[in-house]
A = this chain, B = another copy of it.
Amino acid sequence: MRTKENKYDQLLNAAMAVIKETGFEKASVSQFVRRAGVAQGTFYLYFSSKKEIVPAIAERILSEQLLRIKKREKEAEQGEGLLRLLIEETFALTEEYRDLISFCYAGISLYYSFERWDEIYRPYYEWLIEQLKSLQEKGEVTSGMKTEYLANYTIGLIEHGAEAHYLSQAVQTDEKEAQEQLYYFVSRAVLL
């Protein structure tokens, strides 16, 4: 079990590093295993094919995101706190993993159905839905929408904002401003 965990992680970390450096197009299984220091065949003991690396990376990143968010859960007790928290952490993560994130989008929509995406996002959604419900009860958050949609649009919007900032250069300014503008927009939609 320990060993298994180790090799899997070695491989996943190696893959993430390689893709970060060389981009996805040129990333090959041989590079992953060379970097991880294992044999070619070992890769296929932990991933059924090269493609399987894609959702694995996505899961890793998103679970990291959720972890960080949950660490600051107390801040989410108020509407403003929740939104600022989501924005800050989404921006931070997007900056950190910028190359991998766009690779994951590409890879998953190329190789998998969107159901795979939903699966990966589920825990994140569920957490947010809980928060929103309790804030609706407190009268801090709009009750005019179903919570599922509210959660979905909120996450989608914040991620779009972070990506627009870090991946594209469409609106190139400082992070501060981008976050402020985004907060203004989201809070109007979500908060009462």
Contact = CB atoms under 8 A, between A and B. Distances in A.
B117 A184 contact: no
Copies in the complex: 4
Interface string A119-150: 00100010000000000000000101110111
A44 interface: no
A155 B185 CA distance: 13
Given A102-B109, A164-B152, A170 B125 contact: yes
B160 A110 contact: no
Interface of A: 24-25, 102-103, 105-107, 109-111, 114-115, 117-118, 121, 125, 142, 144-146, 148-150, 152-153, 156-157, 160-161, 164, 167-171, 178, 181-182, 184-186, 188-190
